[in-house]
Amino acid sequence: MKKLVVNYKPLPTVAYPEDEGFLLRDHQQEIYDAPTVPNRMFVACGGSGKTVTQEACSIKEIRKSGFMQRQLISAPQSQICQQFAKKIMLRLYCTKECFDKKSGRWVCSHKIETWHVRRTDNLADDTSKGVLARLEQFIMRPYATQVSMAAKLKVANSYHGMVAICTHAALTRTYTELIEPKIKSGEYTKAQVKAAVNNLTNRCDESHHVGGLTTVEKADQNGLGRFLSFCHKNRGKNSRMFFTTATPFREVADIVGKDIHFVTTTLPFSEWCHYTGIEQIRLTLEEYTGCTPIPNVAKNVGNEPTEKHLVIDPPDGQKWVVEFEGADEGANIAAMHAMHTAIQSRPSMKSKIIIETITPGTLRKHIKRNLIINPDAADCILTCMLVREGVDVPSIAR
Ligand SMILES: [Zn+2]
C-alpha cells in the first residue's frame, strides 16, 4: 500500500452579502482585465469559476464592441449549458476596497451587471424544435442585421440576442447539416461567411472535446473541430475563441497545436485548493493482483460508514471489468451489481442508501438530476460514466 498525504491551509475568505453581487476572484479578475486577444484558454479545475469568467468576459466584449460582438457559448452536456443560463449579478466595476469588512456592506455606487440569458437565447435543449435553425441564424447573422440590432440593444441596455448557449452536439450538427452544405451549394457566399464569423466569439467550455482544430491532430478531427477550424480559417479581426477546460490535453498531446496561438492562463489545483476549505488530501494506492478490487473497495467503504463515498467503475472492456464480459446486462453493469452487493453486505452499510447510477433510460436521467440537485441523498455513489465533467458531487469525502 502506498500513501501520500498533502496538507493545505485554507485561506480566510471575506463573506460578501448574498444577493448584492458577486466580486470576481483574483484569477478571474486577471483574465477579465487582460487585453483582448484572438484566442485565449483558461485551464482550471472544477469549481474554480470558469463559467463566471466566461460570463464576465462576454459582458465586457458585448459592451466594448457596442453590442456587435456575439457570444456563442457551448458545452458538452445540456446540464453544463444550464449553468451558463443562471441569472447572476456581477460587480465587474468594483474592487475589494468597495467592500467595508467592518460593517459588512458595499460602500460604493458602482454599476452592477446582471448576466441574464433569456429563454430564447438558451438553445441547450436539443429536443426542442428548431434549435439547429435558430443556431444557424445566430451564427450566420448578416452584418446589417447586427448593426440595426446593436442600435436597439444599446437603447434598451439589453444583451438579448447577443448570447447563444448550446451543446457541442447541436453546434456540430448545425455546422455539418445546415451551414456547410449551403456553403458548398453557394447559398452562402464567401463574403457572407466572413462577415458572420467576424464579430463572433466562440466560448467553448470543456474544450478538450475539440478534436483536430490544428494540423497536428487533423486525422482526429471531429465535428466541433471542423466548425472551429471553419471559424478560424474565415476569421476577421474580431473573430475570437475562448476555451475553458481542466484538461488541456488528450493522452500525451495538447488539444491545440503550435500552429494556432492561444494565450493560456493556468490555475493549478495547488493554488486553487486554498480557497476550497480542503485541509488535507490523502491518496492511497492499493494494489490488487489476479482478481478484482471489489472486496477491497467494499471493505474500505464499510470501514468508514459515516463518510460519503464515490466509487467509480471502469467502462465495459476495461481493466478488471473484462472478467464480467458475457453477462446478459453488459460487463460493466454486472460489475457494478457485484460491487453494489459487496458494499451492501458490509454490516456497517446496512442502513445506508446506495444509489446505483447505472440504470437504463428515464430512471438514469432521474437519478442524474437528483445527484446534481441533491448530492447529499446518497452515502455511497456507484458510478461508471455518469459522474463526469460538469457534475458537482460536493459532499464526497472518499
Ligand atoms: Zn464598487
- DSSP-assigned states of every residue in 165-231: EEEHHHHHHIIIIIIHHHHHTTSS-HHHHHHHHTTEEEEEESGGG---SSGGGGGG--HHHHHHHHH
Degrees to nearest 5, angle at CA 24 with 56 and 138: 10
- Rounded to the nearest angstrom, the distance between the alpha carbon of 286 and the centre of ligand 1 is 51
Gap between the Cα atoms of 319 and 11, Å rounded: 40
Residue 377 — very low, low, confident or very high, per pLDDT cuts 50/70/90? low
Q: In order of start, what are the domains of the chain with their CATH numbers? A: 10-271 (3.40.50.300), 286-383 (no CATH)
3 state DSSP class of 90: strand
pLDDT digits (tens, 9 = 90+) for 260-271: 899 999 998 888
- Rounded to the nearest angstrom, the distance between the alpha carbon of 388 and the centre of ligand 1 is 37
Residues 6+ away with beta carbon under 8 Å from 112: 21, 89, 90, 91
Are residues 201 and 240 in contact, defined by beta-carbon separation less than 8 angstroms? yes
- Rounded to the nearest angstrom, the distance between the alpha carbon of 20 and the centre of ligand 1 is 11
185 exposed, middle or buried (CB, 10 Å; 0-12, 13-18, 19+)? exposed
Gap between the Cα atoms of 338 and 271, Å rounded: 39
Are residues 224 and 174 in contact, defined by beta-carbon separation less than 8 angstroms? no
**pLDDT exceeds cutoff 90 at 365:** no
Mean pLDDT to the nearest integer, 6-23? 85
Instruction: Return the pLDDT at 133.
Output: 95
Are residues 196 and 141 in contact, defined by beta-carbon separation less than 8 angstroms? yes
**pLDDT exceeds cutoff 80 at 359:** no
Gap between the Cα atoms of 158 and 335, Å rounded: 52
Residue type at 71 in one-letter notation:
Q
Most confident range, picked from 82-86, 239-243, 314-318: 239-243
92 exposed, middle or buried (CB, 10 Å; 0-12, 13-18, 19+)? buried
What kind and span of H or E run contains 136?
helix 131-139
Gap between the Cα atoms of 347 and 309, Å rounded: 16
How big, in percent rounded to 5, are the helix, strand and coil portions of the chain? Answer: 40, 20, 40
Are residues 35 and 240 in contact, defined by beta-carbon separation less than 8 angstroms? no
Gap between the Cα atoms of 102 and 279, Å rounded: 27
Q: All 3 cell numbers of residue 320?
A: 478488471
- Rounded to the nearest angstrom, the distance between the alpha carbon of 321 and the centre of ligand 1 is 55
Residues 6+ away with beta carbon under 8 Å from 138: 70, 72, 123, 164
- Rounded to the nearest angstrom, the distance between the alpha carbon of 158 and the centre of ligand 1 is 21
- Rounded to the nearest angstrom, the distance between the alpha carbon of 89 and the centre of ligand 1 is 13
Q: For the chain, what's the residue count?
A: 398
109 exposed, middle or buried (CB, 10 Å; 0-12, 13-18, 19+)? exposed
- Rounded to the nearest angstrom, the distance between the alpha carbon of 153 and the centre of ligand 1 is 25
pLDDT digits (tens, 9 = 90+) for 288-325: 776 788 888 888 888 888 888 888 887 777 788 877 87
**pLDDT exceeds cutoff 80 at 207:** yes
**pLDDT exceeds cutoff 70 at 350:** no
- Rounded to the nearest angstrom, the distance between the alpha carbon of 24 and the centre of ligand 1 is 12
Q: What b-and-e string marks burial along 131-154, b requiring 16 or more CB atoms within 10 Å of the CB?
A: bbebbbebbbbeeeebeebbeebe
CA dihedral 328, 369, 75, 393 (to 10 degrees): -90
- Rounded to the nearest angstrom, the distance between the alpha carbon of 367 and the centre of ligand 1 is 42
- Rounded to the nearest angstrom, the distance between the alpha carbon of 108 and the centre of ligand 1 is 5
- Rounded to the nearest angstrom, the distance between the alpha carbon of 106 and the centre of ligand 1 is 7
- Rounded to the nearest angstrom, the distance between the alpha carbon of 204 and the centre of ligand 1 is 30
Instruction: Return the pLDDT at 65.
Output: 97
Percent of the chain at pLDDT exceeding 90: 48
- Rounded to the nearest angstrom, the distance between the alpha carbon of 155 and the centre of ligand 1 is 24
Residue 203 — very low, low, confident or very high, per pLDDT cuts 50/70/90? very high
3 state DSSP class of 150: helix
More confident site: 215 or 7: 7
- Rounded to the nearest angstrom, the distance between the alpha carbon of 116 and the centre of ligand 1 is 20
- Rounded to the nearest angstrom, the distance between the alpha carbon of 110 and the centre of ligand 1 is 4
- Rounded to the nearest angstrom, the distance between the alpha carbon of 107 and the centre of ligand 1 is 7
- Half-sphere exposure in the Cβ direction for 79 (13 Å, CA): 15
- Rounded to the nearest angstrom, the distance between the alpha carbon of 104 and the centre of ligand 1 is 14
pLDDT digits (tens, 9 = 90+) for 136-179: 999 999 999 999 999 999 999 999 999 999 999 999 999 999 99
- Rounded to the nearest angstrom, the distance between the alpha carbon of 29 and the centre of ligand 1 is 14
Q: All 3 cell numbers of residue 397?
A: 469525502
